[in-house]
Amino acid sequence: MTVNTKKRGRPAGSKNKLTSPAIINRVKKLMRSEGKIPSIRKLAAALNVDAMAIYYYFSNKNELLEAVTVSLIKEIYEPMDEGNWQNELMLLCKSYLKLLKEHPGLLETLLTMKSEGPSEIFIQRFHIALQPLSLDATTLKSAVDLLADYLHGFALAMNCNPEDEHLNIDSVDGPLGFYITAIASDERRSTTPGLSGSC
């Protein structure tokens, strides 16, 4: 007589290493290796547990993806509150794009989540990077909105065309350089007497 060993639903026993961080880390590894968000069934198989074990920690897949997205915050570059703002902004943008490229499928979650996630952290760090400038609140909002839309669109294009060698993170050097030059010009115009509002 053979006994089939069945995977448990809820984690039990000291040998079981299943935790929320372990699940989140496995999702991220699968995303990087497979280029897409894994199904709960595939995730459970990779963790060697029943799918119900995942639902013990996360009530649904969206909750799991939001937790994964929040965990990525630490991968976003944190600008220094001094020095070369152009370089700091470039490093911030590239770290954000790298995050989106390495975790395809999370962009939609990132844009719809209610808790503080990478997009909010990007905006906060954008303000830190541009602190040396004297831009007013309206200009800053327009600048970050334009930049975020560009980066999200570029990340989506990279994820949809993974074989296109022209769609890589270094490809944004030119457009970001142009963007940075425009911000610098606007800042000079707004702080130079007689130039503000001139035609």
pLDDT of residue 192: 56
Beta-carbon contacts of residue 19 (< 8 Å; ≥ 6 apart): 57
Does domain 20-58 match CATH 1.10.10? yes
pLDDT in tens, 116-175: 888 899 999 999 999 989 889 999 999 999 999 999 999 999 988 888 888 899 999 999
pLDDT of residue 162: 82
Give the pair of three-digit tokens for residue 178. 């142009």
Q: 105 pLDDT band (50/70/90 cuts)?
A: confident
Q: Tell me, which fold does domain 72-191 have in CATH?
A: Tetracycline Repressor; domain 2 (1.10.357)
pLDDT of residue 16: 57
pLDDT in tens, 164-179: 888 899 999 999 999 9
| Contact call for residues 118 and 76 (beta carbons, < 8 A) | yes
Instruction: Kindly state the DSSP code that residue 193 receives in the 8-state scheme.
Output: T
| Contact call for residues 185 and 195 (beta carbons, < 8 A) | no
Taking the domains of the chain in order of start, what are their residue ranges?
20-58, 72-191
pLDDT in tens, 46-98: 999 999 999 999 999 989 999 999 998 989 999 986 679 999 999 999 999 99
Residue 121 vs residues 13, 35, 128, 146, 149: alpha-carbon distances, Å: 38, 24, 11, 16, 15
Residue linked to tokens 């119900």: 52
Between these two residues, 195 and 153, which has the higher pLDDT value? 153
Q: What is the pTM of this model?
A: 0.79
What does the DSSP assignment read for 109-155?
A: HHHH-SS--HHHHHHHHHHHHTTTS---HHHHHHHHHHHHHHHHHHH
pLDDT of residue 110: 83
Q: 104 pLDDT band (50/70/90 cuts)?
A: confident
- How far apart, in whole angstroms, are the C-alpha atoms of residue 152 and residue 129? 19
Q: Is the pLDDT of residue 195 over 60?
A: no
Q: 106 pLDDT band (50/70/90 cuts)?
A: confident
